[in-house]
Structure 1
Amino acid sequence: MTPPARLAPLALLTALVLSACVSPAWDDHDYALKAGKTAASAASAVRFARSAVAYRDRMTGPYAEGLLTEAVQDLSSVNDQFGGVQPPSDASDGIRDEVLRLTEKAESEVEELLIQTRRDGVKDPAAAARELDGLASELNDFAEKHK
């Protein structure tokens, strides 16, 4: 695969994450929809990271590191964007807490995998892939519940 072709999935993920930018929430329903889109964007980044970990043996170290770096940056962006939207009422506080707990956990997990990749490699790629699968499922469940 040529280098530009390798970057196509990365460009697609970045476009998806950026298209999920949030704006002010006018009511609880709008806020829940934004939280759902945030979770869906985070799930996409987690699945992307999962692929980098699960198929690490099929790519160069710098390429795997680049994929995980992008996933961490995307998750950080998702957290920053949604974290900047204030819940419109006390009723939305639980939604905010839940989605940020999930997205911050995702960012932390992927960041840890990036650190491992930069050092000696992911210690247990199969376990890491399972963990990321579970996290992506939680994020997807949240997104489905709030769409």
Structure 2
Amino acid sequence: MRVSRRVALTLAVLLLSGCASPAWDDHDYGLKAAQSAQSAASSLEIVRLAVRDEDRLTTPYLKTLFTETVKDLGSVNSQFGGVQPPSPAADEVRGRLLDLTGEAEDQVASLLIQVRRDGIEDPAAAVKDLEGVATKLRAFEEAHL
């Protein structure tokens, strides 16, 4: 009997740990959105610096950094996407944030493909594009604090 109780308790803990915390109102939801935007913008900043200095970094390092960043951005998307919006206004916030984090994820994934092939095609343009999305994410964050 003790073994089955332990198994049940372990399963319950695992299932509950995968759940996103609820947003009780639009303000709480906005704070969660701001935190997610900050996390995504920080990840993009690291990638931007790596692209800027790519000639001084090794290809294996860039591959690892970009792979981990794509995973991190995907995690931000799935974690925030798991929070239920409390109102129709929050639906709009959700859509805008997921669009921005999806754009960020796409840019880094594209850079990863380039690095795996022959290197970053146009580092200056990539830096500018990354800055653009990071700026939008920071503005989003500020608007929802």
TM-score calculated relative to the size of structure 2? 0.84
- Tell me what 1:139 maps to: 137
Query: Which digits, 9 at most, give the CA deviation of each residue in 1:111-138, with x for residues without a partner?
Result: 0111111111111000000100111000
TM-score calculated relative to the size of structure 1? 0.83
- Tell me what 2:4 maps to: none
Query: Which digits, 9 at most, give the CA deviation of each residue in 1:26-71, with x for residues without a partner?
Result: 1111001100111010000111111121111111110111111111
- Tell me what 1:126 maps to: 124
- Aligned partner of 1:61 among 59, 62, 66: 59
Q: % of aligned pairs identical?
A: 57
The one-letter code sitting in structure 2 at the alignment partner of 1:78 is V
Is the counterpart of residue 94 in structure 1 residue 69 in structure 2? Answer: no
Give distance in 2, aligned partners of 1:134 and 1:43.
10
Task: List gaps (5 residues or longer) in structure 1.
Answer: 1-21
Give distance in 2, aligned partners of 1:27 and 1:125.
42
The one-letter code sitting in structure 2 at the alignment partner of 1:101 is D
Give distance in 2, aligned partners of 1:52 and 1:78.
21
Q: CA deviation at 1:23?
A: 2.0
Give distance in 2, aligned partners of 1:128 and 1:59.
16
The one-letter code sitting in structure 2 at the alignment partner of 1:45 is S
- Aligned partner of 2:75 among 74, 77, 86: 77
Give distance in 2, aligned partners of 1:103 and 1:58.
28
Instruction: Tell me if the contact between 1:50 and 1:133 (Cα under 8 Å) persists in the aligned partners.
Output: yes
The one-letter code sitting in structure 2 at the alignment partner of 1:114 is L
User: Runs of 4 or more off by more than 6 Å in structure 1?
Assistant: none
Is the counterpart of residue 107 in structure 1 residue 109 in structure 2? Answer: no
- Aligned partner of 1:40 among 21, 38, 55: 38
Instruction: Tell me if the contact between 1:52 and 1:68 (Cα under 8 Å) persists in the aligned partners.
Output: no
Aligned to 2:121, the other structure's residue is in SS state coil
Q: CA deviation at 1:110?
A: 0.5
